[in-house]
Amino acid sequence: MNDTTDPKIKIEARGVDVFYGEAQALHGIDLDVNANQVTALIGPSGCGKSTFLRCINRMNDVIDGCRVNGNIAIDGQDIYSSDIDVVELRARVGMVFQKPNPFPKSIYDNVAYGPRIHGLSQSREQLDHIVESSLKRAGLWAEVSDRLSASGTSLSGGQQQRLCIARAIAVSPDVVLMDEPCSALDPIATAVIEELMEELRKDYTIVIVTHSMQQAARISQRTAYFHLGNVVEHGATQQIFTNPKNQQTEAYISGKIG
Amino acid sequence: MSASSLFLCLVGLGLFSFFFGRRRIHKLASGAHGVSQKQHSRDVYHASFLVICATFIPIVLLVVWTGVSPLVIDALLESFLKARANTASLGELNVMIAKTKAYYAGSISAAFIDDTIAEATTYYADLVARSLQARSLAVLLLAIAGAGLGVRKIALRFTARHSVERVAQWIMLVASAIAVLTTVGIVLSLIFETIRFFATVSVSEFLFGLHWSPQIAIREDQAGGSGSFGAIPLFAGTLMITLIAMVVAVPIGLMSAVYLSEYASPRLRGVAKPGIEMLAGIPTVVYGFFAALVVAPFLRDGGADIGLTLSSESALAAGLVMGIMIIPFISSLSDDVINAVPQTLRDGAAALGATHSETIKQVVLPAALPGIVSAILLAISRAIGETMIVVMAAGVAANLTANPFESVTTVTVQIVMLLVGDQEFDSAKTLAAFALGLVLFFITLALNILALYVVNKYREQYD
């Protein structure tokens, strides 16, 4: 799973604090995410890994009383600076949620939604092309090509999640954030999506929050272990899982805490 | 025995059965040994079971007998009088029946009655007394027999718990049947009276006639119109006022719902939502005089300023005020359905880079649409059925006009006008009210069915 070429840093987080009202959820997170790799965020529930994930596309903005300090840069550009347009940022940083959340629209309209609101296509043919290629990359095309006008909510859970992935990549983001994307899925659907991630990382940088150690070990190149709002340890996945430097990490990975 | 003392007897018997049943199962249980003789149901179920055995059927019998026996006795009296008096006139027969009953009740003196009536009264009194006796006997016998059978069933392994459960289920069934049967009864009476109405006025004249003036001479020699019953002006008026009301209520209600559920801070929402809902608590008669005394003159004067002639009672005034009245129906129901749209959908749209208003327009509202549509249909039903505002602000003259500045009238208002004052029950004028009511009923029924259909067809199942 090791990459031969020296990876380029895509996301650079420095000293990120997050407060929900008075409560501090993250304490000075420093973390680099490499381009075209899968980075797994692991840790016990409530450790702040999802909070950190939601900082990367500023989804925390909509939560009342949430405050973010510190620096997060994507391609060297600070995403919390005042000249950043959140709407454009989120087009560059896609997100897939824990529970599949297709819109109550047709499969086609689900995928076409992003390209439409961002004006990515000039013609119907172009839009058709975007929808088809996104569904193909999400590995869903073969299953739905004959019923694109069916409702997105009529699909099975695994298909819905792949539809959400197709929806996210239809706007050609640089980064795809995944918040426990397989937690609501059965092992077969999970395997399909894990395969998909390996495929997708050729074009996208992927950050995934997961509760499954095996999943983190299988799919990621780098892993960060979060505990109580701190990054305890981060590094190459192989090293974290075979030779963790920190006792806490070792205890979590071997199932002693968590 | 009178119905009330009979009922008291049953209550007493019920109480007695309760304590008796409890004692009995208690006694059986205290003599029991071993697992195989473990009591199946708790004491209270055995006691309740006995109460039900002793009282349930007798109470039903009491109610039914009390309701049905006067009808039977009246029919018997009628045939008795028919045979005695050999009169063919229905009117005379009715007078004799009334006299008999009055004499029996002691409200007329013997000087006013002849032998036939006296005989009939004796016959009638005999029937009433026998019916009462038979009723008391039947009810008490059934109660005692039921209690006896129930006592025999009480045993350690008797599944009294399930028996009580079944009876509970039956009681629920009866409760819902009452609601349904009442509706059926009302609809049937509407239908029958409407059929009588259509015996004097043709269906096509009623449904397609353009002229409504229901004045009918009550006596042959009286001066008065022959009456015309073309209901089109009423439906046109109803339609126009409803339309004006919806033009006011739908945009305002929907936008305030969106504001409350998507933009307002929790504190503002906590104040504003009850505030809007308070509109629904204002009595319609208050809206009515508000429309008639404030809005209508305001519109008339305003219209005069820009060169429009408005009559002081206008469809516009009534429609505007009715629109205000139904805002809370739309806003409150829509607010609920918008809130029911899962947050994950909003997050999904936001994560794709949609702005807040894009998210609302393209994701939240389409997802909430079935609920919103049914809210609007409900509001329309409400607007069609509204009477008071129209009586006061739009007038009672049945004009067929498309001009909202003129006075119009609606179906409900005309029903009121038909039924107030003195009238004969079987004149076409009175019966017309039933025909109008039936048509209104079908319109609102159709709207409700449409609303149900929309909700079921387009509802998204979240979770």
Domain presence at residue B194: no
pTM over 0.80? The answer is no
Q: Are residues B418 and B305 in the same domain?
A: yes
Please determine, for residue B120, whether its predicted confidence score (pLDDT) is greater than 70. Answer: yes
CATH number for the domain spanning B366: value is: 1.10.3720.10
- B345: chain A residues, CB-CB within 8 Å: 101, 103-104
Q: Which of B351, B363, B366 has the CB atom closest to A94's CB atom?
A: B351
Any idea what DSSP says for residue A179?
E
Domain presence at residue B178: no
Question: Which token pair is A23?
Answer: 């409560």
Domain presence at residue B452: yes
- A157: chain B residues, CB-CB within 8 Å: none
**Is A101 within 8 Å of chain B by CB?**
yes
Domain presence at residue B57: yes
- B353: chain A residues, CB-CB within 8 Å: 87-91, 114, 117-118, 171
Domain presence at residue B351: yes
Please determine, for residue B34, whether its predicted confidence score (pLDDT) is greater than 70. Answer: no
Residue with tokens 């070990």: A217
Q: Are residues B252 and B379 in the same domain?
A: yes
Please determine, for residue B222, whether its predicted confidence score (pLDDT) is greater than 70. Answer: no
Average pLDDT rounded to a whole number, residues B120-148: 92
Domain presence at residue B427: yes
Nearest CA in chain B to A54: B351
**Is A176 within 8 Å of chain B by CB?**
no
Give the distance from residue A180's alpha carbon to the nearest chain B alpha carbon, in angstroms. 14
Q: Which of A59, A99, A153 has the CB atom closest to B351's CB atom?
A: A59
**Measured CA angle at A250 (ends A188, A195), to 5 deg:** 20
Within 10 A of B172 (CB to CB), how many other CB atoms are there? 10
Give the distance from residue B376's alpha carbon to the nearest chain A alpha carbon, in angstroms. 21
Count of domains for chain B: 2
- A53: chain B residues, CB-CB within 8 Å: none
Average pLDDT rounded to a whole number, residues A197-210: 92
Query: Does the structure's ipTM exceed the value 0.95?
Result: no
Pairing outcome for strands A66-74 and A230-236? unpaired
Please determine, for residue A156, whether its predicted confidence score (pLDDT) is greater than 80. Answer: yes
Last residue of a domain, one of B158, B191, B218: B158
Q: Are residues B430 and B324 in the same domain?
A: yes
- A101: chain B residues, CB-CB within 8 Å: 342, 344-345, 347-348
Convert the pLDDT of each residue in B91-107 to its tens digit. 788 888 888 888 888 88
Residue B15 CA to its chain's centroid (Å): 35
Q: Are residues B152 and B232 in the same domain?
A: no
The answer to whether B367 contacts A103, with C-beta atoms less than 8 Å apart, is yes
Whether the Cβ atoms of residue A38 and residue A7 lie closer than 8 Å to each other: no
Average pLDDT rounded to a whole number, residues B328-350: 91
The answer to whether B352 contacts A104, with C-beta atoms less than 8 Å apart, is no
pLDDT attached to residue B35: 61
- B354: chain A residues, CB-CB within 8 Å: 87, 113, 117
Give the domain extent around B141.
3-158
Question: Which token pair is A90?
Answer: 């989120």
Domain presence at residue B222: no
The answer to whether A88 contacts B367, with C-beta atoms less than 8 Å apart, is no
Q: Pick from B375, B387, B376: which is nearest to B241 by CA?
A: B387
Q: Which of B342, B353, B460 has the CB atom closest to A114's CB atom?
A: B353
- A171: chain B residues, CB-CB within 8 Å: 352-353
Residue with the larger pLDDT of the pair B218 and A57: A57
The answer to whether B351 contacts A91, with C-beta atoms less than 8 Å apart, is no
Average pLDDT rounded to a whole number, residues B279-299: 89
Convert the pLDDT of each residue in B353-362 to its tens digit. 999 999 999 9
- A87: chain B residues, CB-CB within 8 Å: 353-355
Please determine, for residue B247, whether its predicted confidence score (pLDDT) is greater than 90. Answer: yes
**Is A130 within 8 Å of chain B by CB?**
no
Q: Are residues B436 and B344 in the same domain?
A: yes
The answer to whether B353 contacts A87, with C-beta atoms less than 8 Å apart, is yes
Q: Which of A57, A62, A103 has the CB atom closest to B348's CB atom?
A: A103
The answer to whether B354 contacts A87, with C-beta atoms less than 8 Å apart, is yes
Confidence of residue B47 (pLDDT cuts 50, 70, 90): very high
Percent of chain A residues topping a pLDDT of 70: 97
Domain presence at residue B283: yes
Give the distance from residue A213's alpha carbon to the nearest chain B alpha carbon, in angstroms. 26
Please determine, for residue A1, whether its predicted confidence score (pLDDT) is greater than 60. Answer: no
Question: Which token pair is B379?
Answer: 């509001």
Average pLDDT rounded to a whole number, residues B408-419: 87
Average pLDDT rounded to a whole number, residues A160-173: 93
Q: Are residues B314 and B447 in the same domain?
A: yes
DSSP per-residue letters across B379-428: HHHHHHH--HHHHHHT-S-----S-TTS----HHHHHHHHHSSS--TTSH
Amino acid making up residue B277: E
Last residue of a domain, one of B158, B173, B197: B158
The answer to whether A117 contacts B358, with C-beta atoms less than 8 Å apart, is yes
Nearest CA in chain A to B357: A117
Percent of chain A residues topping a pLDDT of 90: 60
Order of strands, sheet of A77-78, starting from the edge strand that comes earlier in the sequence:
A23-34, A9-20, A66-74, A77-78
Q: Are residues B239 and B382 in the same domain?
A: yes
Please determine, for residue B230, whether its predicted confidence score (pLDDT) is greater than 80. Answer: yes
| CA distance linking residue B332 with residue B341, whole number of Å | 15
Q: Are residues B107 and B256 in the same domain?
A: no
Q: Out of A150-164, B93-107, B142-156, which region has the weakest mean confidence (pLDDT)?
A: B93-107
Q: Are residues B154 and B241 in the same domain?
A: no
Please determine, for residue B88, whether its predicted confidence score (pLDDT) is greater than 70. Answer: no
Convert the pLDDT of each residue in A87-134 to its tens digit. 999 999 999 999 999 998 899 999 999 999 999 888 999 999 999 999
Order of strands, sheet of A230-236, starting from the edge strand that comes earlier in the sequence:
A93-96, A175-179, A205-209, A38-42, A222-227, A230-236
Q: Are residues B253 and B396 in the same domain?
A: yes
- A99: chain B residues, CB-CB within 8 Å: 344
Convert the pLDDT of each residue in B54-86 to its tens digit. 998 899 899 999 989 999 998 898 888 888 777
Q: Which of B350, B366, B460 has the CB atom closest to A153's CB atom?
A: B460
Mean pLDDT of chain A: 90
Best of A53, A87, A88, A161 to substitute, by most chain B Cβ atoms within 10 angstroms, is A87
Mean pLDDT of chain B: 87
Best of A88, A93, A113 to substitute, by most chain B Cβ atoms within 10 angstroms, is A113
Beta bridge pairs of residue A224 = A41, A234
Residues 53-92 of A with CB under 8 A from B: 57, 59, 62, 87-91
Whether the Cβ atoms of residue A52 and residue A226 lie closer than 8 Å to each other: yes
**Is A253 within 8 Å of chain B by CB?**
no
The answer to whether A118 contacts B353, with C-beta atoms less than 8 Å apart, is yes
- B352: chain A residues, CB-CB within 8 Å: 90-91, 94, 113-114, 117, 167-168, 171
Please determine, for residue B227, whether its predicted confidence score (pLDDT) is greater than 80. Answer: no
Best of B262, B343, B352 to substitute, by most chain A Cβ atoms within 10 angstroms, is B352
> Helix or strand or coil: residue A13?
strand
Across B87-91, B333-337, B414-418, the highest mean pLDDT is recorded for B333-337
Could you tell me the sign of the dihedral formed by the alpha carbons of B308, B314, B318, B319, in that order?
negative
Last residue of a domain, one of B158, B189, B218: B158
Nearest CA in chain A to B359: A117
| CA distance linking residue A189 with residue A192, whole number of Å | 5
Q: Are residues B317 and B396 in the same domain?
A: yes
Q: Are residues B153 and B238 in the same domain?
A: no
Average pLDDT rounded to a whole number, residues A12-16: 93
